[in-house]
């Protein structure tokens, strides 16, 4: 097995999007991290920072992954789909040949926190029909490992212990999103203080790690809160 090494660390930049939602843009499309086109973190307890939401807007040719940590958002699209995003939930949307959707807050106070990631689609899939999956927290398995725990949103992770949602398949725990054009791995990782975790990632995958709490060492470098590490094969 080849270890991944962190070769570059990025810090997000404050910006606004949608109707004026304040957020931190961690990845933008001009940074050359294909298939990752964009990563935004939104986190505020000030209602004025998020109440404007993201009114109806179009997407085409990529996938959007919204992961909620706190708060409540409502998604609607022009195909008639409608779904709620609550703490621990995920929306995985494939824009394909085109979709018009909105994401609007369903609260007038309290903390709103989460992420949106854009994943590019290969050319052969850019004109596929649009679709999406709303994933409740209970659908996302948690893998307990010596030294921490991992929520498996997409892909598979070796484990001897799994709880909630999808079960074990052989020696692997598979998340609700598996396979697809880019064969994505999406893990929410919590490491216990003073411990170490090793997670398998294919050598051919573009690998990124973002710290939203704490300051772990990833691939040999410390990643303080708000830092994105770009990893390569060591």
Residues 53-105: pLDDT tens digits?
Answer: 999 999 999 999 999 999 999 999 999 999 999 999 999 999 999 999 999 99
User: According to the model, what pLDDT value does residue 162 have?
Assistant: 53
List pLDDT tens digits, range 103-154: 999 999 999 999 999 999 999 999 999 988 999 999 999 999 889 999 999 9
* Residues in Cβ contact with 90 at an 8 Å cutoff, skipping those fewer than 6 apart: 65, 66, 67, 68, 134, 135, 140, 153
Cα 36 from Cα 29, distance rounded (Å): 8
Asked whether the whole model's pTM tops 0.85, one would answer yes
Cα 33 from Cα 132, distance rounded (Å): 24
Which of 13-17, 87-91, 161-165, 179-183 has the lowest average pLDDT?
Answer: 161-165
């Amino acid at each position: 097995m080849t270890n991944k090494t962190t070769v570059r660390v990025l810090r997000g930049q404050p910006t606004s999007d949608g109707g004026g939602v304040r957020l931190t843009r961690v990845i933008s499309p001009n940074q050359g991290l294909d298939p990752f086109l964009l990563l935004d973190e939104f986190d505020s307890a000030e209602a004025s920072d998020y109440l404007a939401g993201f009114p109806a807007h179009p997407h085409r040719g990529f996938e959007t992954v919204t992961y909620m940590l706190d708060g409540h958002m409502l998604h609607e699209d022009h195909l008639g789909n409608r779904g709620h995003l609550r703490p621990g939930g995920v929306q995985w949307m494939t824009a394909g040949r085109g979709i018009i959707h909105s994401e609007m807050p369903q609260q007038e106070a309290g903390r709103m926190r989460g992420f949106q990631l854009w994943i590019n689609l290969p050319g052969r899939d850019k004109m596929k029909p649009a679709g999406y999956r709303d994933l409740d927290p209970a659908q996302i398995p948690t893998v307990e490992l010596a030294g921490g725990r991992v929520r498996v949103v997409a892909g598979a992770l070796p484990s001897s212990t799994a709880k909630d949602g999808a079960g074990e398949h052989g020696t692997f725990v598979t998340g609700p999103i598996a396979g697809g054009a880019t064969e994505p791995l999406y893990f929410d990782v919590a490491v216990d203080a003073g411990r170490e975790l090793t997670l398998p990632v294919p050598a051919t995958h573009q690998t990124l790690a973002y710290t939203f709490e704490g300051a772990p060492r990833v691939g040999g470098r410390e990643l303080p809160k708000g830092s994105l590490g770009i990893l390569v094969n060591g």
